[in-house]
Amino acid sequence: MAASTLANSSRSHKFLPKPARPFALPSYPKTQPRFRVFPTAEAVYPWRIAALSTDHTVSCHKSLSYALRKCTRLNEQRRKGARNESN
C-alpha cells in the first residue's frame, strides 16, 4: 500500500494558490436604494415611502403595489441621475 505524500495529501490545497475569479468586479460601487416602503399602521394610508437617510416621508399610499412601483421609479431616477453627474 502506498503512503500519502504532500502532493496527494488532503491538506495540500492549503499550499496551492487560490483560483482567479472568472469575471472582473465592477469598478464602481453598487448604489444602495435611497427610498423604501414602510408600513404606517394607519387605516387610510397604510404604506409610506421614506428617504432612508433622513426618514422623511415622501408620500403615503393605500395600495402596496402602487407604493412599490413609485419607490422603484424614485430609486431608478436617482441611479440615472448619478450616472449622468459622473460623466
Number of domains in the chain: 1
Place of cell 399610499: 61
Residue 10 located in a structural domain: no
The residues facing 39 across adjacent strands are: 47
Residue spans of the chain under pLDDT 50: 83-87
With beta carbons less than 8 A apart as the criterion, state whether 49 and 66 touch. no
What is the pLDDT at residue 67?
Answer: 97
H or E stretch covering 3: none
Residue 45 located in a structural domain: yes
pLDDT tens-digit readout, 14-37: 666 666 656 665 555 556 779 999
What is the pLDDT at residue 31?
Answer: 61
Residue 47 located in a structural domain: yes
Domain that holds residue 57: 33-86
